[in-house]
Structure 1
Amino acid sequence: MSTGSRVLQRVVLPVDPDQDILPLYVEGELGQPPVVAEDVTTPVSAPAEHQDVAQVLSRRSFGVEPRSRASFGTYFNAFPAAYWRKWTVVEQVTLATKVSGTGQVLVYRSNARGNIYRVQGEAFEGAAGQTFTFTLPLSSFADGGWYWFDVVAGAEGATLDEAHWEAESDRPQGTVTVGVTTLNRADDVVVLLKQLASDPALLEILDRVTVVDQGTQHPEDADGFAASEAGLGGRLRMIRQANLGGSGGFSRGMSETLDEGVSTYHLISDDDVRTEPEGILRAVTFADLARRPTIVGGHMFSMFDRSYLHSFGERINPWRFWWGPVLDKYEGHHLDQGSLRGTAALHRRIDVDYNGWWMELIPTDVIREVGLSLPVFIKWDDAEYGLRAREHGVPTVSLPGVAAWHVPWTDKDDSLDWQAYYHERNRFVAALLHSPFEHGGRLVRESMYHQLKHLLASQYSVAELRLQALEDLLSGPEHLHAQIDTRLARIRETRARYDDARVERTPGAFPPVKRKKVSKRGDGYALPGGRLGNYLGAALGMVKAVRPPSDLSREHPEVEIAAQDARWFLLARFDSAVVSLADGSGASWYRRQPAEFRRQLTRSLELHKRVLEEWPELSRRYKAAIDDLVGQEAWKATFARTEADDR
C-alpha cells in the first residue's frame, strides 16, 4: 500500500450545547496561577477565560469574538505529542487548519515540565475558508508535552471552520466492535447507542455494537430504542444472558467478536457512560499506528461534575497490591478551574499498568493470545487484564483525548456493601497470579488490618463477606467459574443477617439518639489526630469490643454519624450508631455484638495465617489454571451452563 495521509485527531466541539464541558474543547486567555504556600500538596494550576457555547457553530466550527483569543489547547483538542512519540511509529505530525475572517493562527508546544513555547504562526485577513498547514516534529517529547493552536481574532472577528492533526502512514485502517454490558440500565444504553450512531466517521469503522443484557429491564423496551437501533444501520446485536457480572458480560462480548472474526479491535464500554465518539476514532487510529499491539484506554470524567477529570492514569502498587492513581497527589482535576495549558502535572506523559473498563480498546489478536476476562464477576477484572497483557508484552496506554463520563467511585463506598466479597477475593486472586513477591508482599498483613478495622467498627457483614472470600480463595481456582452465577445470592443471604447491612431510606426510621453518659467535651464525636491517636483508638476499641453493650444502646442509637466521618476509630467508641451511606440515600444502625466480634476475629486470624502459609502453593495452582480460567472454550461452557440453569 502506498504511503498516504492519515487523520490522527479531528478538532471537535461538544455534540450537544453544554456550557459545563465547553472548557474541555475550547478556552480563552490563560490566567495566572494562584500564589500558594510551598508546603501545599495540591498542584497549582492556572485558569483560563471561559468561552460561550453560543460560539459553537457546528461540531467542528467555532466563532471567535473580535479582538479575542480562542485556544484549542484543551483536553479534547490539544495533541498529546508525547504519547504518539512513545508508543507509535509517527515521527512528525501536520496540523491543518481552515479559517475565515481576520486574525492569526498561533501554534504552541509544551514540555514535560509544563513550560510553553510558541513554535509557528500565520496571519490571515479577509479570509474565506483559507487553509494553513504546520508540519511539527515529535522528536523532543520524550517525557511529555503537547501541541496545540490558538486562533486570535482581529477587529472583524474570525471563525475556525475546521482543523485536524494528520500524519503520513501506510498502515491499514482498523475496524471495531463495541461491547456493552448492561444490568437494568435500559435508558442509559439507549443514550449510548444514540451517541455511537451520531458520528458518520465512526460508523465507517464500526462493525458492530454488541449489547450483553444481564438484567430484567431490557433496552428494547425503553423509549428511543428503535431510533437508536435504526441509527446504527443494522450494526446492533442484542444478547441476553444470566447475570455473570461485569467480567461475564465483557467476556461474552469479547467471545462474540472473536467468533465473528471481522473486527480488528474490541472496545469495552460500561452501560452507564456518556462517550465522546471522536475518542473511539482516536483510539482505533492510535492502535493502528502503535509500534506493537497495544491496549488503548480512555480517561474518566465525572458524570455529575462534567469538567472534572477523575481518572488520568491507574497503577498497581506491587508491594501492597492495591490500585491507585499514577499521580499520587493528583487523583482528579477540575479542567474548568485549572486549564490543561496551565497545569504542569498534566504535561508529563503518564504510563499506566491498566485502564478501567468504562472504556478500553483491545486488539482482537491480543484477546486471542491473552484470553478473556478472569471469571471474577466484578472488581479487579480490568486491573488483572492489564497486568496479564503486560506479561505477554502488550502495554496499556491511557490516551488523552479518549474519554467517557462515568459515575465516579468517590460518590459511593462499595467496599462496605455486597461488593466487599469481590474486592477481597479478586484482589487476592490477582495477586496470586501477578505479585512479584513470594508471599504477596504486604497484602495478607494489610488485609488483616482492614479486617480488624471493620470488626471494631461493628461492620460485621463486611467482615463476614471478606472471610467467605478467603475461604473460597483457599478452595482453589475451580470455584471461579463454578460459582460465578450463584455467589451473589449467597452474599445477599449473608448480608441479611447483619444490622449494618440493613438500610433504611426514610428519615426518622430509627429510634431517637439516647446515651447515658456524655463527655464533658461534648458527644465524643471528634476524630483523633495522628497515628498515636489511631493506635489509642484501636486499643480502647479492642477493650470495648469484648465488653457487653449497654441495654439502652440496644433500643436507641448512641450517636448519628455522617458517612464521611464514619472511621473505624470513631465507630469503635460507641455501642451503637446510625451511619449514613456514602451516596446519602439512607442509613444503617450499627450495633456492637461482642460474641460475633470474638467469633469473626478468631476466624480472621486462622484464615489469614492459612493464606500466608499456603501462598506459594496457591499461587502455583492459580497460575497453572489461568488458561482454563480465561480461555474462550471455558467461558462458552459457563455461558451454556448458566443459560440452561436460567430457564
Structure 2
Amino acid sequence: MEQASTVGDATVAHDLDALKDGLSEPAPRDRLVAQRGLFAAPSPRVPQKMYVETKGGAVASRDELVLRQGAHASTNTYFGRFAASFWQRWTAVTAVRLELTYATAGSAAFALRASDAKGRKRLVVRQEVTGSGTLVLDGKLDRFVDGGAMWFDIDATAGDVTVTDVRWTVDAPDHLRPAAVVICTFNRADDCAVTVGTLAADAGAMADIDAVCIVDQGTDQVKSRPAFADIEESLGGKLIYLTQPNLGGAGGFSRGMHEITSAPGSAHANVILMDDDILCEPETVLRMNAFANMTLKPAIVGAQMLSLSNPQILHVSAEREVLDEIKAGALTPGAMMGVDLGKKNQERRFDAGWNGWWTCLLPAEVIADCGLPLPLFFQWDDIEYGIRARFAGHPTVTLPNAGVWHADFHLKDYDDWARYFSIRNGLIVSSIYGRFDGTTIAKYLFRKISELIVSMQYGLAATFIKAAEDFLAGPDFLDDGGQSVLGEIRELRARYPETVARPAVEVGAEADPHTQMDVWKFEPDESREGLVLAKRAVQQFLGKVDGRPVTIPAHYASWWHVSLFSQATVTDASQNAVRVRRRDKQTALDLTRQAAKVCWRLRKEAPQMKATYTEALPRITSRENWTRLYGTGA
C-alpha cells in the first residue's frame, strides 16, 4: 500500500502494509511474564552490577549465570529487582512467582528476598536444591504500599551451579493487549538502525509486539543503511516505515500514535514511544507492556532515563512540573536524582506527574480520550501530554527497574536555539493547565532574562524575548507544526557573537587564577539573589566590572560570577567548545527595554492568553489537524 502526497516541497510517502490486517491480541495464557531475569546488558558499555552482583567465581552472560563452588550472587540490582511496591499499588496482582532452571553438580541455595520503603530487608522463602530441575518460588505482593522490592540470591553451596530461563510471572488477564513500538527519527539514521536492530534481535521482548513503526522525518534516511534490510527481515511483517516532513518530536510520535490507533483491533492497544538515539534495553519494553496489561485502569507507563556516559547513574526517579516557573523537571516526593544505582536502590514508592518519551507507553484508551499531542515541534510535547492525561484522570507510572540509556542532559549547553521552544512551549502549557497569574509569570520571566543580560548572554536573552512574543501572538503560529520558526531563531541568534561555540584553543587569555578563585567562592543566599542581581545590573551598566579577560569553567558560569567581568570565555557544557561573552552596554539596554515591554504585555494579557490557548487545544490536537500537517490526505 504506497501513497504519496506533497506538503510544500516535501514528499510524504508511507507503507502501511503491516497494519492492513490490524493488530491482534496475543495468544491467551495462564501466566504472564512480568519480567525476565537477565545477567548482562545488550551492550558491553553497561556494567554487570546493573544486573547481578557476584562474589567468588562467576561467569555471567545475557540469560545464563554460572557460579563456582562457594560463590554467591544477588539480583538486588537495578534490572534484577522486581518493583513489588508499584505492582501492589497499581494492579490487582496479589502474588508473583519466580521461576528458573538450575543445574548443579552438588547443591545450591536460592533465597527470595524483599525490602520495605526504608530499605530494610526480609527473607520471603529459601530453598536448597540438588541436581537439576525447575525451581518455583512464590511471594505475596503485600507490605509494599509505601515502597520496597523483591529479588533473589544464589549460593553455590557444593559444586558449580548454572542458572538459566529466569522468569517473574503473574496470573495472566483474560485478554492481553496488542502492542506496537513507535520510533521517531530525524537524520540519526545510524543511531536509529542500531536501536531498532537491538530491539528486533530480542525475540523474548518482541514476542508480544505486533508492530514496530519508524517515522523518518530526515533527509538522511534509515532505509539507506545496509542494516535496514536485516532489520526488515528480522521483523518480518511487523515493520512499518513512514516518511514525512520534519514536524519535530511531536509530529513524529503523533504520526505513529495516529497510524497505530487507526488500525483494526487497536482499541485496547499499548503504543510504546521510543527515542532513536537511546541505548536500548529490550527488557524494558517487556516490563512496561506487562505492567500496563495488569493495571486496574489504563495508565501511562514510563521508563526511567539512565546516563549514557555513566550507565549506572539514574537521571531522576520521577518528575513533575512547576508551571509558575515554566519549569518542566522537578523531583516528585520520594524520587531521587543523579543516583549511582550500583550503590543505592530506589526503595520508596514515588508518583510521577509525567514521563519523557525517551521510552513511554500510552494505552490506546488514553489516546482516544485525550487526542494527539500539541504540535509544539520540540520540547514540552511529552510533558503537556502527561499533564493533559492526568487532568483527564489517567495517571503516569514511572516504573523503576525499567530504563533506557539516554544522552546526558547536563552535556547540552543552555545557550541553544532549543531554549526558544522550552520557553514558548512552557508558556503555552502553563497557560492551559496552570493558574497562569500574569504578575507571577511576568516577574519570573523578566528575572530570568535579566540574569542572562547581566551575564552577557545577549543572544539567549533575545531568544527568550522572541519566545514570549510568539506566545502572545496566539496559537496560529502552530499551524505549520513549528517548522518555519527554526530559520527565524537561527537568524536571530546569529546576530549575537557570544552564541557561537569556538574551539578552546582559538580564544582567551587567562586572568590571575587567585582572583578567579575568590570569585568562585561566592554564592548568594537565595533570599538575597534579587539584591545581588540588581547590584550586578548597575555594575554592568556603569562599567564597574573587572576589565581583564577571564576564562570560566562551565560549572562556575553562574550569572553572579560572569557578570563581574567585561569579557569572559566560558566553557560550553558539552566540554567541546567555549563561548566568548563581551559586555555591550547598548545591546543590554535594548534587550532590557524589549524584555520589559513583552513582560508587561504578558502580565496584562495573561487571562486572554489562557482562554485563547485552552479554547484552541481540541482543534490543534485533533486527528484532522495532524492529518493536514502530515500531508497524507487521509
Matched, 1:244 2:247: yes
Matched, 1:66 2:69: yes
Q: Among 31, 50, 54, which residue is 1:24 paired with?
A: 50
The residue aligned with 1:182 is 185
Q: Among 585, 606, 610, which residue is 1:615 paired with?
A: 606
Instruction: Give the Cα–Cα distance (whole angstroms) in 2 for the partners of residues 579 and 96 of structure 1.
Output: 55
The residue aligned with 1:388 is 388
Instruction: Give the Cα–Cα distance (whole angstroms) in 1 for the partners of residues 629 and 312 of structure 2.
Output: 41
Could you give the per-residue CA deviations for residues 283-311 of structure 1, whole angstroms, max 9, x where no partner exists? 11111111001111001111111111222
Matched, 1:256 2:259: yes
Contact 1:112-1:348 within 8 A present in 2 as well: yes
Contact 1:310-1:333 within 8 A present in 2 as well: yes
Q: Percent identity?
A: 30
Q: Among 272, 280, 301, which residue is 1:275 paired with?
A: 280
User: Kindly tell me: are residues 66 and 313 of structure 1, through their superposed partners in 2, closer, same or farther at Cα, counting changes over 3 Å?
Assistant: same
Matched, 1:585 2:589: no
SS class of match (1:106)? strand
The residue aligned with 2:374 is 374
- Per-residue deviation at 1:608? 1.5
Amino acid in the other structure paired with 1:332 = G
The within-5 A match list for 1:495-510 is: 495-505=493-503, 507-510=504-507
Instruction: Give the Cα–Cα distance (whole angstroms) in 1 for the partners of residues 247 and 523 of structure 2.
Output: 43
SS class of match (1:184)? coil
- Per-residue deviation at 1:524? 6.3
User: Kindly tell me: are residues 262 and 388 of structure 1, through their superposed partners in 2, closer, same or farther at Cα, counting changes over 3 Å?
Assistant: same
Instruction: Give the Cα–Cα distance (whole angstroms) in 1 for the partners of residues 392 and 76 of structure 2.
Output: 36
The residue aligned with 2:298 is 293
Instruction: Give the Cα–Cα distance (whole angstroms) in 2 for the partners of residues 632 and 182 of structure 1.
Output: 21
TM-score by length of 1: 0.88
Contact 2:111-2:153 within 8 A present in 1 as well: yes
- Per-residue deviation at 1:393? 1.0
SS class of match (1:530)? coil
User: Kindly tell me: are residues 569 and 167 of structure 1, through their superposed partners in 2, closer, same or farther at Cα, counting changes over 3 Å?
Assistant: same
The within-5 A match list for 1:71-470 is: 71-101=74-104, 102-125=107-130, 127-128=131-132, 130-263=133-266, 264-317=269-322, 319-322=324-327, 323-326=329-332, 330-336=336-342, 338-340=343-345, 346-413=346-413, 415-435=414-434, 437=435, 439=437, 442-470=440-468
Instruction: Give the Cα–Cα distance (whole angstroms) in 1 for the partners of residues 191 and 66 of structure 2.
Output: 32
The residue aligned with 1:545 is 540
Amino acid in the other structure paired with 2:568 = A
Instruction: Give the Cα–Cα distance (whole angstroms) in 2 for the partners of residues 620 and 547 of structure 1.
Output: 43
- Per-residue deviation at 1:325? 2.4
Matched, 1:56 2:54: no
Amino acid in the other structure paired with 1:561 = I
Amino acid in the other structure paired with 1:55 = V
Contact 2:334-2:348 within 8 A present in 1 as well: no
- Per-residue deviation at 1:381? 1.1
Could you give the per-residue CA deviations for residues 408-435 of structure 1, whole angstroms, max 9, x where no partner exists? 101223x311011111111111111111
User: Kindly tell me: are residues 544 and 261 of structure 1, through their superposed partners in 2, closer, same or farther at Cα, counting changes over 3 Å?
Assistant: farther
- Per-residue deviation at 1:321? 4.7
- Per-residue deviation at 1:352? 0.3
Amino acid in the other structure paired with 1:474 = L
Contact 1:103-1:123 within 8 A present in 2 as well: yes
Amino acid in the other structure paired with 2:230 = A
SS class of match (2:604)? helix
Could you give the per-residue CA deviations for residues 295-335 of structure 1, whole angstroms, max 9, x where no partner exists? 11001111111111222211123554522222588312112
User: Kindly tell me: are residues 579 and 511 of structure 1, through their superposed partners in 2, closer, same or farther at Cα, counting changes over 3 Å?
Assistant: closer
Tell which deviates more after alignment, 264-273 or 313-322.
313-322
Matched, 1:529 2:495: no
Instruction: Give the Cα–Cα distance (whole angstroms) in 1 for the partners of residues 514 and 618 of structure 2.
Output: 63
User: Kindly tell me: are residues 483 and 153 of structure 1, through their superposed partners in 2, closer, same or farther at Cα, counting changes over 3 Å?
Assistant: closer
Tell which deviates more after alignment, 68-77 or 19-28.
19-28
User: Kindly tell me: are residues 548 and 122 of structure 1, through their superposed partners in 2, closer, same or farther at Cα, counting changes over 3 Å?
Assistant: closer
- Per-residue deviation at 1:97? 2.7
User: Kindly tell me: are residues 211 and 265 of structure 1, through their superposed partners in 2, closer, same or farther at Cα, counting changes over 3 Å?
Assistant: same
User: Kindly tell me: are residues 440 and 292 of structure 1, through their superposed partners in 2, closer, same or farther at Cα, counting changes over 3 Å?
Assistant: farther
Matched, 1:9 2:35: yes
Contact 1:113-1:347 within 8 A present in 2 as well: yes
Contact 1:5-1:169 within 8 A present in 2 as well: yes
SS class of match (2:256)? helix
User: Kindly tell me: are residues 522 and 633 of structure 1, through their superposed partners in 2, closer, same or farther at Cα, counting changes over 3 Å?
Assistant: closer
SS class of match (2:337)? coil
User: Kindly tell me: are residues 262 and 12 of structure 1, through their superposed partners in 2, closer, same or farther at Cα, counting changes over 3 Å?
Assistant: farther
- Per-residue deviation at 1:403? 1.3
Contact 2:520-2:556 within 8 A present in 1 as well: no
Contact 2:64-2:164 within 8 A present in 1 as well: yes
User: Kindly tell me: are residues 105 and 524 of structure 1, through their superposed partners in 2, closer, same or farther at Cα, counting changes over 3 Å?
Assistant: closer
- Per-residue deviation at 1:401? 2.5
Amino acid in the other structure paired with 2:352 = V
Contact 2:377-2:481 within 8 A present in 1 as well: no
Contact 1:296-1:396 within 8 A present in 2 as well: yes
Amino acid in the other structure paired with 1:173 = L
SS class of match (2:145)? coil
The residue aligned with 1:43 is none
User: Kindly tell me: are residues 142 and 520 of structure 1, through their superposed partners in 2, closer, same or farther at Cα, counting changes over 3 Å?
Assistant: closer
Amino acid in the other structure paired with 2:507 = F
User: Kindly tell me: are residues 566 and 17 of structure 1, through their superposed partners in 2, closer, same or farther at Cα, counting changes over 3 Å?
Assistant: closer
TM-score by length of 2: 0.89
User: Kindly tell me: are residues 69 and 293 of structure 1, through their superposed partners in 2, closer, same or farther at Cα, counting changes over 3 Å?
Assistant: same
User: Kindly tell me: are residues 282 and 522 of structure 1, through their superposed partners in 2, closer, same or farther at Cα, counting changes over 3 Å?
Assistant: closer
Instruction: Give the Cα–Cα distance (whole angstroms) in 2 for the partners of residues 262 and 192 of structure 1.
Output: 27
Give the total of aligned pairs: 601
- Per-residue deviation at 1:98? 2.3
Instruction: Give the Cα–Cα distance (whole angstroms) in 2 for the partners of residues 112 and 333 of structure 1.
Output: 17
